[in-house]
Amino acid sequence: MTFFWSSWITILSFMCWAFILAILLMVLKYKPKLEEDGTTGHTYDGIQEYDKPLPKWWLVIFFGSIVWGVAYWVFFPAMFPKHWDGLATVEVDGETVPWSSKNELYSELESNNKVFTDNFEQNILAKADASGATSTLATLADMQATMRHSETPPADLQAQIDEKVAELSPYVEKLSENPNALKVGSRLFLQNCSVCHGSNAKGAVGYPNLTDNDWLYGGEAANILTTLHNGRVGGMAAWRDQIGEDGVRAVSEYVLSISGNQEGYDLDQTMVAQGKVIFNEPTNCVLCHGSDAKGMISTGAPNLTDDIWLYGGDRETVRETLRYGRAGVMPEWQTKLGNERIMLLAAYVYSLSDRTAQPAAKASPATTAVPVTAAATAN
Ligand code: HEC
Ligand code: HEC
């Protein structure tokens, strides 16, 4: 609210309050001259007027509401709300903060969330034989609170948080076999994720399929947890300015030649050879996609040798990708859903994914950069 409107409302409500108080006092003070029979001498249609005191209950209510008005101003940010927070407070995030409709909402969300997390611990974690997660979750919540509250958080705190998150992965694996957890997880997925990944989690152009064994950032429970907590941004720069349109065409031809969908394409072998040279320059494509072009989960660069495409594997789409670059954004969920719901979602995604054909990736550590071989050969 601007200062003008806040003053406008403040002055109007104060004037209204003062006016009512003044009228009441005036009426109370007013003593008309009485006739000998105790009436004021006024007669209306044969009815005589007395001067009786106002009823007590009425006065009590009237003065009561005037006092209530003042109390309201004192307790709530009603007068010049920018300058007066009011005495009323609520608890948010373990701290006592001035009342505001926003803080009240946060406070209520927190207590509702507590109902959810208590239920999660007692009815899901305990029954899925994963109670051990409780203490990890508590430590994690403490670390996150420190992160939120300190203006200059310790430099390595985020790394410690990421590590704690990864420690939840064995429990996520357990939850992924628990029907109750999966039921809640699937509902959370429909509410939060299906807009982008589809209600069957099979994805769409630009949104990865989560049910296969092809992963941009790794399909281990710990990888999925990290993806959900922090979000991901795929960074594939535009190449036209660097390698020119001819370069784009050549390297696209090379990409088609190594991909799993080259059938039906009449490839220009001179361009393929030129493209291969560009691809393998140490600061070009190999940097992120790896020397075998099978992608790297540390950079989120996809495997280019299979027939699974994020944006499309036809000649024109590959050229588009190279000309203008791509930057798919997976939002972060930690602040929106909290650790418990993320565990359920990770368990659900883990349960959907095709794990049978991915034995080699088992070895890949989750949060650290992983060289191409382990993750990629599995795709
Ligand atoms: C606004 C759209 C959007 C929403 C909503 C969204 N995602 Fe994503 N997600 C993406 C995009 C885009 C990517 C790929 C990022 C990239 O291109 O680097 C992605 C990537 C992922 C990955 C990594 C896939 C891989 O191959 O490594 C997982 C796992 C995932 N999302 C799960 C979820 C879950 C679970 C939710 C719900 C809590 C969700 N996403 C909600 C857009 C979204
Ligand atoms: C800085 C790292 C990086 C470099 C360098 C890089 N890429 Fe990428 N590339 C990515 C990432 C990350 C994605 C996924 C983008 C997204 O998720 O939105 C991608 C996506 C692609 C795609 C789309 C694949 C699909 O499934 O639709 C193609 C094709 C591709 N890159 C080819 C190349 C070629 C050819 C080069 C060299 C000229 C190159 N990339 C250089 C990181 C890189």
Give the residue, by CA position, lying nearest to ligand 2 atom 2. 288
User: For 244-348, where are the E strands, in sequence order?
Assistant: 329-330
C-beta of 166 in contact with ligand 1 (< 6 A): no
Domain count across the chain: 3
Give the residue, by CA position, lying nearest to ligand 1 atom 9. 330
User: Is pTM beyond 0.85 here?
Assistant: no
**Which of 196, 205, 351, 355 maximizes ligand 1 atoms within 8 Å of its Cβ, making it the mutation to test the pocket?**
196
Domain assignment present for residue 107? The answer is no
H-only helix segments in 150-178: 157-167, 169-175
Do 216 and 167 lie in one domain? The reply is: yes
Q: What is the pLDDT of residue 357?
A: 60
Do 349 and 295 lie in one domain? The reply is: no
Tens place of pLDDT per residue across the chain (379 aa) = 788 888 898 999 999 999 999 999 998 888 888 888 888 888 899 999 888 888 999 999 999 999 999 999 999 988 887 788 899 999 988 889 999 999 999 999 999 999 999 999 999 999 888 888 999 999 999 999 899 888 888 889 999 999 999 999 999 999 999 999 999 999 999 999 999 999 999 999 999 999 999 999 999 999 999 999 999 999 999 999 999 999 999 999 999 999 987 777 888 999 999 999 999 999 999 999 999 999 999 999 999 999 899 999 999 999 999 999 999 999 999 999 999 999 999 999 999 998 876 444 333 434 444 443 433 333 3
Domain assignment present for residue 37? The answer is no
Domain assignment present for residue 350? The answer is yes
Do 356 and 220 lie in one domain? The reply is: yes
Query: What pairs with residue 89 in β-bridges?
Result: 98
Atom of ligand 2 nearest to the CA of 318: 29
How far, in Å, from the CA of 270 to the mean position of ligand 2? 22
Query: What pairs with residue 326 in β-bridges?
Result: 236
Do 132 and 229 lie in one domain? The reply is: yes
Do 250 and 304 lie in one domain? The reply is: yes
Domain assignment present for residue 38? The answer is no
How far, in Å, from the CA of 94 to the mean position of ligand 2? 44
Which 3 state secondary structure label does DSSP give 262? Answer: coil
Atom of ligand 1 nearest to the CA of 235: 18
Give the gyration radius of the chain's Cα atoms: 34
Give the residue, by CA position, lying nearest to ligand 2 atom 17. 234
Q: What is the pLDDT of residue 354?
A: 85
Atom of ligand 1 nearest to the CA of 300: 18
Do 73 and 201 lie in one domain? The reply is: no
- Which residues form ligand 2's pocket by a CB distance below 6 Å? 234-236, 239, 251, 255, 279, 284-285, 287-289, 299-302, 304, 309-312, 318, 321-322, 326-328
Q: Which one of the ligands is nearest to 203 CA? A: 1
Do 223 and 368 lie in one domain? The reply is: yes
Do 310 and 346 lie in one domain? The reply is: no
What is the spatial distance between Cα 359 and Cα 369, in angstroms, rounded to a whole number? 19
Q: What are the angstrom distances between the C-alpha of 18 and each of 22, 112, 214? A: 6, 41, 72
Picking from 62, 87, 112, the residue at the C-terminal end of a domain is: 87
Do 312 and 357 lie in one domain? The reply is: no
Exposed e or buried b for every residue in 30-53, given b needs 16+ CB within 10 A? eeeeeeeeeeeeeeeeeeeeeeee
Domain assignment present for residue 359? The answer is yes
Do 213 and 346 lie in one domain? The reply is: yes
What is the spatial distance between Cα 143 and Cα 158, in angstroms, rounded to a whole number? 9
The secondary structure element, H or E, covering residue 177 is none
| Residue 357 and residue 213 in contact, taking contact as beta carbons nearer than 8 Å | yes
Q: Which one of the ligands is nearest to 299 CA? A: 2
C-beta of 192 in contact with ligand 1 (< 6 A): yes
| Residue 2 and residue 81 in contact, taking contact as beta carbons nearer than 8 Å | no
Domain assignment present for residue 218? The answer is yes
| Residue 333 and residue 228 in contact, taking contact as beta carbons nearer than 8 Å | yes
How far, in Å, from the CA of 105 to the mean position of ligand 1? 28
CATH number at 259 reads 1.10.760.10
How far, in Å, from the CA of 35 to the mean position of ligand 1? 89
Do 303 and 164 lie in one domain? The reply is: no
Supply the range of the domain harboring residue 360: 126-233+337-376
Domain assignment present for residue 48? The answer is no
How far, in Å, from the CA of 207 to the mean position of ligand 1? 7
Domain assignment present for residue 117? The answer is no
Do 154 and 198 lie in one domain? The reply is: yes
